[in-house]
Amino acid sequence: MRHQPGVLIVEDEPAIAELIAVNLRHNGFRPTWAMDSVSAQCELDAVLPDVILLDWMLPGESGLTLAKRWRAAARTKSVPIIMLTARGDEMDRVAGLDAGADDYIAKPFSTKELLARIRAVIRRRAPEQASGVVYIGALALDSGTYRVTFDGHLLKLGPTEFKLLHYLMTHAERVHSRSQLVDKVWGDHVFIEERTVDVHVKRLREAMGENAGHMIETVRGVGYRLTVQSSPARPSPISA
């Protein structure tokens, strides 16, 4: 039997949740509905979904708070989260992404667009299952254990930053435009603004720290490149 991806819908408006659930069922997904943070946590504790559709405005704890908590928890940190909200301005989108969301869709949205975004986050998670270690200078990424180290020190990366770094490391020294990164990291059918790439590059640099962060170069007017040439030559753990 073909696997039906599970989708947890965290939405306090029954009419919206039912509309989403019906369309998901008709398109081969297995939806589950939770109307608040407590029931959502119960559903997650019982069965881990393939994707979480998370409304920003919820009774009790907000979707933003839940996204931060689930990203910090080992069991749920790699589950893709798509924020659903009526808050559509840039500051809110950035806040949602900074909280750990993989994607963001503002209400009202089309069912076709929502389905495309769900398929995209599932697609881009799949390549991570392949194991292997990639080395660039003092930077090492192990896709089998989901670990990234620089000079032997463990770096803490979110799931989207991990995907982005993995792609840049496996295509080092090449310059990638923002649109190319959207296609290769997020998926070629995802509806995502190129500004989102800048947000995740900023978060990735911060997670990598000052010794490794500038390995990711901004190429003005073009995009980004990961290069060992920009990193300090094997920085000593003992500072002068």
- Where residue 87 falls among pLDDT bands split at 50, 70, 90? low
Question: What is the reported pLDDT for 130?
Answer: 47
Question: What is the reported pLDDT for 231?
Answer: 43
Q: Is the pLDDT of residue 61 over 80?
A: yes
Look up tokens 């292997």; give the residue: 132
Instruction: Provide CB contacts within 8 A for 104, sequence distance 6+.
Output: 82, 83, 85, 93, 96, 97, 196
* DSSP letter, residue 127: G
Mean pLDDT of 180-189: 79
Sequence letter at residue 53: L
Q: 58 by DSSP, 3-state: which?
A: coil
The CA radius of gyration of the chain, in Å to the nearest whole number, is 19
Check residues 51 and 189 and name the one with the higher pLDDT: 51
As given in the structure block, the two tokens for residue 42 are: 């119960």
Domains and CATH numbers, the chain: 6-127 (3.40.50.2300), 130-230 (1.10.10.10)
Question: What is the reported pLDDT for 70?
Answer: 92
- Where residue 71 falls among pLDDT bands split at 50, 70, 90? confident
